[in-house]
Amino acid sequence: MSESGLISEEYRKMQQQLHENPDYGVASVQLAPLVAQVIEAVGAQDLLDYGAGKGRLGITLKQHIRRPLAIHHYDPAIPEWSAPPEPCPFVACIDVLEHIEPVLLDNVLDDLQRVTAGVGVFTVHIGAAVRFLPDGRNAHLIQQPPAWWLPKLLDRFELAKFERMEMGFWVVVERKQG
């Protein structure tokens, strides 16, 4: 288990292997317009891409946002982005939570709560992934409906918006006050 309790060493290595595939981690490109819309609505100037993968969200956001946006990356499977991130006023967690090891999900959600200093936009795919892990498991380790996810999120955040999408849902959350 890693020091942070967010990912096991074995799973980190599997994720690093998956990220060698150029087609792995493309959901953020498709969801960048949604993230850009929320960024514009709240006037965010800093973004933490939590579970950044190859950093495609930040690259794609530059096509949608014409003003300066400082982008910070965190991904435990990417060595240069694996240091625990500092809290940020705006956090995007796109197509990440369903990939978390189930036994560590509460730790990851607690860490998301820690780093979300203001607003977060999170997407969750609720079905099976196209890809499989090197050990044969589906890449989406958690395949649960919104009714399973929402209580976990509401324990940690105020819900500002919930929206179903074809493969799952997205939420806009705010840091709980007090």
Architecture per CATH, 9-132+152-175: 3-Layer(aba) Sandwich (3.40)
Contacts of 30 (CB under 8 A, 6+ apart): none
> Cα 77 from chain centroid?
13
Annotated domain spans of the chain: 9-132+152-175
Amino acid at residue number 118: G
For residue 94, how far is the Cα from the chain centroid?
A: 4
CA dihedral 81, 82, 83, 89 (to 10 degrees): 60
Q: What is the pLDDT of residues 121-145, one digit of tens each?
A: 999 999 999 989 999 999 999 999 9
For 45-87, what is each residue's pLDDT tens digit?
999 999 999 999 999 999 999 889 999 999 999 999 999 999 9
Q: pTM higher than 0.85, yes or no? A: yes
